[in-house]
Amino acid sequence: MRGEKFRRQMPLGDYTVDFVCLERRLVVEIDGPSHETGEQRARDQKRDAWLTANDFRLLRLPNDVVIGAPELAEQRIIEALGADPSSAPC
C-alpha cells in the first residue's frame, strides 16, 4: 500500500476481523458466499454496527474480487485509506 500496516485476524471486542489498519481505523473484510445468507447478514450487521460505534471504518470486498482482480481490491483499499477517518464506513 502506502506504508500503512495491516494486522491479519485481529480480535476487536468480541469479533475477529480479517484485516485492520489501526492507525487509519480501517477494517477490511473479505466476504465469500456464506455472507449472502440471511443469518450471516444479520451477524455482519451487528458486527458492523459495533465497529462503527467504536470509530472503525469498514470495507467489505467479495472473495471473487480479491482472487480474480487483486489490483482492483488493492485500489479499493487505497481509496478507503485515503478517506477521511471520521467519514462514514466504506
The arithmetic mean of pLDDT across residues 17-22, rounded, is: 96
Average pLDDT, the chain: 87
Would you state the CATH architecture of domain 7-82? 3-Layer(aba) Sandwich (3.40)
SS3 38: helix
Instruction: Report pLDDT digits (tens) over 53-85.
Output: 999 999 999 999 999 999 999 999 999 998 655
pLDDT beyond 80 at 37: no
Categorize the per-residue pLDDT at 31 as very low, low, confident or very high, splitting at 50, 70 and 90: confident
